[in-house]
Amino acid sequence: MTDDPITAIARDELTRRTAAANRLVKEGKIPAATAARQLAPWRAIALICDAPEVLAAEVEDYRRTIIHYPGNGAPAVYGHLLPLSEARRDLAADLCPAAVWRQALEKARDAALAKATTPDRVARARNLCILARSLNVALTAASCTPPPQPERIAS
């Protein structure tokens, strides 16, 4: 199964940030609760972007509502399953409000653009721009500024 590019970008960013947070926790620089709080926006983004392995068990729990009342006098439905996309979005909203993950993505995109001086950093900045654009994150002055150009030395 090939990934959607947006899903792959979201998963890669969550993987990078999880590794960095785990390293900081292991070194004793931040508590685990702080790391979890910092990762919440990126987990929400990965959920919204349909990364299948992100919080898979929790998504399944969200799908399984105990009881569903369809209304209009219809009897209650037990064992009703929410659609997968709806469960992902509900879980993402409970993990992190949209305003918070949008702000985290906006800051990450702008910071990556400011540091885009090597091919790897340019690729990451480009990916964060693609992710932000696909999730309708607003442009900022920093995201519209041309990247820094290395100085050229006359020969």
**Per-domain residue ranges of the chain:** 5-138
- Is 63 buried (19+), middle (13-18) or exposed (0-12) by CB count in 10 A? middle
Tokens of 148: 């820094």
What is the C-alpha to C-alpha distance for residues 74 and 71, in angstroms, rounded to an integer?
6
Task: Tell whether the torsion through CA atoms of 74, 76, 80 and 84 is positive or negative.
Answer: positive
What is the C-alpha to C-alpha distance for residues 25 and 10, in angstroms, rounded to an integer?
22
In which band, very low, low, confident or very high, does the pLDDT at 150 lie, cut at 50, 70 and 90?
Answer: low
Beta bridge mates, 68: 77
pLDDT at 148 (0 to 100): 60
- Of all residues in the chain, what percent carry a pLDDT higher than 90? 59
Residue pLDDT, tens place only, 37-58: 999 999 999 999 988 888 888 8
Q: Find tokens 């879980």 and name the residue.
A: 91
Tokens of 105: 């993505």
Task: Centre a 10 Å sphere on the Cβ of residue 141 and count the other Cβ atoms it contains.
Answer: 7
- pTM of the entire predicted model: 0.81
